[in-house]
Every structure is written in C-alpha cells, then in structure tokens.
Amino acid sequence: MFKNLRDEIKAIKDKDPAARSTLEIFLCYPGFYALLMHRVSHWLWNHSFKLLARINSNIARSVTGIEIHPGATFGKRVFIDHGMGVVVGETTIVGDDVLIYQGVVLGGTSTEKTKRHPTIEKGVIVGAGAKVMGNITIGEYSKIGTGAVVLKDVPPESTCVGIPGRIVKRKGVPHERVDLDHDKLPDPVADAFRTIVKHLQENDEQIKILFDKNEICLADDSNDEQEDLENLFKK
C-alpha cells in the first residue's frame, strides 16, 4: 500500500511543476484525496456496501469538488490536477498514468444499465473542460484538447480537439516525453481560416499596388471605373 502511495505522489511531482514537496501534496492536493477516498468507495461498492460507498463518495465530493461514482475503475498513478468540477460516471474505466484537468466530464449517454461511460487508456491527457461522453475508448497516449466534446473513439497516440471532437493528429510524441501543453494543440479548421484571411489580405495589397501604379481610382461613376479596368487589361 505504501509503495502505491509513493508511486501516486511521484506521479504528481512528475506531472505538476508546482508540486514542491510530499507534505504539500498530502495537505493541499484535492485530486490526491479524491482518488484516495475513491479507492475506499470502490472497495465498499465491490463488496456490496453500496450505500456506504455512495455516502463516502459524497463526502469526497464535498471536500474536494470532484465527483467520482464508486463504481468507476481507476488505474495506478492517475493525477487529477486542481480537479474542481470533474465528474466521473459509474462505468468509467481510467487506465494507468492518466492526467485529468479541472472541469472534465467522463459521462454517459444512455439510461440503460450497461457500460455507458468511456474507457480512458494508459497515458491519456484530458484537457480542462473537456467532455468525453458515452461508451467510447480513448486510445493510449492520446490527448483531448481543452473544451473538446468527444463522442467517438479516439485511436492511440492521437490528438482530438473541437466540438464535436475531431482527430487532428494521429501520431503522438514519444512516450518518454509527453507534451502537457494541451492548450496549444493544433486546430486545422482555424488554421485554414487564417490562411484564407492572409491570402485575401495579400490580394488586397496587390490590387492596391496595381491600381496606384496605373493611376486608377475607384470612382462613383461605375462606367468610368469599368473603362479604366478595361484599359488596364489591354496593356
């Protein structure tokens, strides 16, 4: 048990540059307490003490601001950073070494008593405010961008951004060097708009230079303007 606690604390130190000491983590990290109390709730849930499990999980929510259903399954070295507003549903499965930021919802989209919440595989990073909904799988070492709404499976080592979530990168960085800048993930749609705007601006500049060079002025008289343009293209 103590080895597991040491591993959890080491994972927090590795993933959070603000963590300065073990004592600080014990006293000030709600994500650490939420998972510690969840493991108690999960044990109670699996041993048919379901009411006690729910009571314990509600106490944990009141203390930490993180709501984890006792039925959810968590792997080792999971870190919930800050954590306020995180909600994890009953049939969620979270693998080892996952990093979850504040405001994340791992929720369900069905009312049937089946597997209705996501599976988050090893090494995944889920950005602040992201919503991962339904019985889907987020593959190993993938990244979910800030504020994304993910409704479909995400392949391993991929990057998913936007509403609804779009896969914008299918090859991740090496596992030894995971980039935590989830707020700087690529967005190809935004990039395309920026390219179009830049192209239009360059065209406007070229047209202005061409008009100035040939002493063409956009006049109120459309006939004069048309005549000037026709003369220009005859040159």
Q: 10-residue block means of pLDDT along the chain (235 residues)?
A: 73 82 85 91 94 94 93 92 90 93 90 89 92 93 90 90 83 49 60 78 78 63 58 58
Helices 2-15 and 30-46 cross at an angle (nearest 10°) of: 140
Superfamily grouping for domain 2-184? Hexapeptide repeat proteins (2.160.10.10)
Instruction: Give the pLDDT of residue 228.
Output: 59
* pLDDT, position 178: 45
Tokens of 184: 């700087």
* Contact indicator for 31, 81 with CB cutoff of 8 Å: yes
| Residue 209 phi, psi dihedral angles, 5° rounding | -60, -45
For residues 91 and 116, the answer to whether their CB atoms sit within 8 Å is yes
CB-based contact 72:40 (threshold 8 Å): no
Measuring CA to CA, which residue among 155, 178, 179 is closest to residue 168? Answer: 155
- Identify the pLDDT of residue 181: 60
Q: Where in the chain is the domain with CATH 2.160.10.10?
A: 2-184
CA separation for the pair 138, 159 (Å, rounded): 10
Tell me the CA end-to-end span of the chain in Å, nearest whole number.
86
**The two structure tokens encoding residue 64:** 């930490």
Q: List the one residue out of 160, 177, 133 whose CA is nearest residue 15.
A: 177
Contacts of 42 (CB under 8 A, 6+ apart): 53, 70, 71, 72, 73, 74
What SS3 string covers the chain? CHHHHHHHHHHHHHHCCCCCCHHHHHHHCHHHHHHHHHHHHHHHHHCCCHHHHHHHHHHHHHHHCCEECCCCEECCCCEECCCCCCEECCCCEECCCCEECCCCEEECCCCCCCCCCCEECCCCEECCCCEEECCCEECCCCEECCCCEECCCECCCCEEECCCCEEEECCCCCCCCCCCCHHHCCCHHHHHHHHHHHHHHHHHHHHHHHHHHCCCCCCCCHHHHHHHHHHHHHC
